[in-house]
Amino acid sequence: MGYYDDDYESSSRQKGNRGGKFLPALLGAILGGLLVLFTVPALGGAGLLPDNLYPPNEEQNGLGTDENAVEKNVDVNVTTNVTDAVDKASDAVVEVVNIQRTDFWSQQPAGTGSGVIYKKEGNKAYVVTNHHVVEDANQIEITLSNGSKLKGTLRGTDPLMDLAVVEIDSSKVDSVAEFGVSGDLKRGEPAIAIGNPLGNFPGSVTQGVVSSADRSIPVDLDQDGNPDWQAEVIQTDAAINPGNSGGALINIAGQVIGINSSKIAQNEVEGIGFAIPSDVAKPIIEDLEKYGETRRPFLGVNIIPLSQVNTYQREQTLKIPNSVQDGVVVMEITPASPAARAGMKEMDVITEMGGEKIKDPVALRKFLYTKAKIGDEIDITFYRDGKKQTVKVELSGGRQTQ
């Protein structure tokens, strides 16, 4: 029996004694291995072993000698529709810094947001951002995508739609954004947000889809708990964080379809961001650039919802029929306004304008801002001392909100 078996038998009999025959066995194994090592190549060279027992060399398997092997398998310059869209629009997205005075001698940044360069004309360029990004600013600083810092001059803001226009020097501006048509958007189509989240990551890109192309959310401007406006917005799941406000929401063609405005900031909510549709924003941007204000039809009334009036006041002060449940109560008339010229008075209860029901202040503003124009003559139906009346009012223009 060979020495391997002898060693095995010995170890079986004496587990505690591993000396003895172990060293000869080890030497025998080494010698045997050396004999195989030198014998097999010789046999192969003599044609006694088939060639396919040997591994293919580097030239045979295409590795090592082909310098383009990696390029054949991996495209290191990845280009997609998304990257093309980002390349087209990103240089027009800027950082907007709101600088406010802290005391007589000093001022410091109070907040940071984003903006979009939408026009370059002569020695001036124009940036659209959010009203809340530049609100109460003593100075505005714009940082371009190439790092250039420019002084911004506020042309005008619209708190109702949360938009503002800032003017800058155009000498270092190389890129201007192209606006798309938000009215053609479909749920599920790609949406890409570009901005400066948290004020520390300029040029950041997030991708998602259009969750809803025509969402409405309440806006409470005076923080009294009552909505002043129902804003029409694009809902997207592309990540929009603080600092993204005022940045661009673009489509797959690299066109701006919305100006990012807000996000529901709750721990249990993810993927719900909003942008002002480009179709809504464009006429407002034009007014802010040209007039420094948004020119809307103006009625000249200060109103409250009829639903807030208690039963006693409804019966004793307004004297309106019980069948009238919806409308707005005129609390104040602006002197020389269209309402004043038409003979309207305090405590009038408006129920219709231009043939459309007016349920609350939001409905009145929506009619004025979306369905009426400056100079239009409209019929207003109202109740005064319990009697239903109708009067014609010619709307004027101005920066007033209603």
The residues annotated as belonging to the active site are 132, 162, 245
d(CA 87, CA 93): 11
Q: Provide the 8-state DSSP code for 179.
A: B
What is the SS3 assignment for 108? Answer: strand
What is the SS3 assignment for 311? Answer: helix
Q: Provide the 8-state DSSP code for 340.
A: H
Residue with tokens 């005075």: 101
CB atoms within 10 A of CB 180: 20
Question: Position 26: which residue type?
Answer: L
d(CA 279, CA 370): 12
Rg (CA), the chain: 38
User: Are 243 and 196 within 8 A, CB to CB?
Assistant: yes
Q: Provide the 8-state DSSP code for 132.
A: H
d(CA 118, CA 46): 80
d(CA 96, CA 396): 34
d(CA 293, CA 261): 19
Strand partners, 276: 259
Tokens linked to 171: 């000498």
d(CA 285, CA 290): 9
Beta strands in 284-370 (DSSP E): 296-298, 301-305, 328-333, 349-353, 356-357
Question: Position 384: which residue type?
Answer: R
What is the SS3 assignment for 85? Answer: helix
Tokens linked to 127: 């940036």
